[in-house]
Structure 1
Amino acid sequence: MSASSRASSPRSYLVCASQRSGSTLLVETLRSSGVAGHPQEFFQYLSQTSLAPQPSDWFVGVDDRSILTLLAPDKPGVESTETADDWRARILREGSTDNGVWGGKLMWNQTPLVLERAAGLTGRTGTDLHSALGDILGDVLYIKVTRQDVVSQAVSFWRAVQTNTWRGRPAAGDDVAQYHQGAIAHLVKVLQEQELGWRTYFADHGIEPVEVAYADLANNTAEVLGRVIDAIGLNIEVPPPALKRQADKRSDEWVDRFRDSAPGQELPV
């Protein structure tokens, strides 16, 4: 059965999320269809290093050595020489499938990088984020992925910045990762701030994104994918999930430990 019997013309889409929210499952499954764009995290690369944020970048302002010594080492990088116009052209080219559908993913912490890069675009129409995304992508469908259990999200995030393992199940080296109450609490706050940033952005611009809840995506993947594919305007079979749940018993134990030690810290800001 097709995902939709009333699909409109396919359109570009931007998956808006925060780290460890389940957005990778969504975009990789869409990518696997071969006709839903090639969604990637195009906007994560700092122009100064050509790399994504490094582990220490998530703990700027934190001086607790018991946290900082547990982080995976930062990698060196080289400054990008790409012009803003070339940057935009590459993003549009690399994110598109032959049918013209473009897909991408943007985390709230990456929005300053969007503004920085977009400032040099030919024909820039404004100085804010909304105009920047319009100048880069044109009219796009916003898809918001939210993980309601922010403590589980922060635990997953904390394991990733200790091991530099961001995809797939934890690697063998994950056994070096250590529980740290303060580090997880810090990342809970980071993730809450990202969620607030997206909600404020949507409200300020009257945007009603397609809402995707992590729990629904994990437990009813085909149903959620069908709804997203319908919103994009594609009339295709729903592809099978491209990834499996990454959390394990260890993550669950850390979540319980955090909640037992710091009740209420997961409440929204």
Structure 2
Amino acid sequence: MLEKEKSNKGYYMMIAVAILGLLIWSMSVIEVKPLSKDGMVIAKNIFKGIFHPDTSFLFNFTKQGVPFLLLETIAIAVLGTLFGAILALPLAFLSATNIVPKPVAFIMNFINMAIRTVPPFVYGLMFIRVTGPGASAGVLTLAVASIGMIAKMFTETIENLDQGIIESMEASGASLFQKIRFGIIPQLKPDFLSLLLYRFDMNLRDATILGLVGAGGIGAPLIFAMNAYRWNQVGSILIGLFLLIFVVEAASSRIRRFLIQGK
């Protein structure tokens, strides 16, 4: 017992030393500069604008107001998630080693990894050159960026299935499509829907960031307001984003709990 405790203590000490070493190395690489006088003034103005928002902008129900911009951001996230899920679903099944031969699964996993390698921000810059600035670029960006993560998580869920059902269907001579349709999808439906809701939460935040490069949504007005030092409008946008994320997070958490636990 004492030897085990000593072994665990040594293990934890090694981890602590490794973390401390990484911290020291990181601090030596990153140059930390003190806040300038202008920086303090800007920070003060930012907080002042957040706590004194432009209510005429916040409650403006035209296409230039915060409500419409938030609605556009939600629409971009919804369409991007749905299109990404549609494209990721066949890729996930073709990447599962318990569904297809291992060489096929290896190739599909390699393609999926290549898709995940490119950050959404880069996809956004690429699609803006193709479609021009606007919501279309945001939808395409989120759709392609969603494929990698959704396919990976779908694949892991498929590979953790009850193999007894699949083996019994194989013994009865079922085709690949029949195995997927009658043996796999009924088991995976709650997990799939839960994963889509989780990805939608992420895409809603990404849609805001993509707006900074002109891919639609509320990000573009946010960066314009910041560049023009209109901090009261920045405050209005941030308040709208906070309320939107809060409502969506609460609703999606409740839906995921219902799908997984049935209550």
**What range describes the TM-score normalised by the shorter chain of this pair?**
under 0.3
Higher relative contact order (CA 8 A, sep 6+): 1
Higher strand fraction (1 or 2): 1
Higher helix fraction (1 or 2): 2
TM-score, scaled relative to structure 2: 0.26
When Rg is computed on C-alpha atoms for both structures, the one with the higher figure is 2
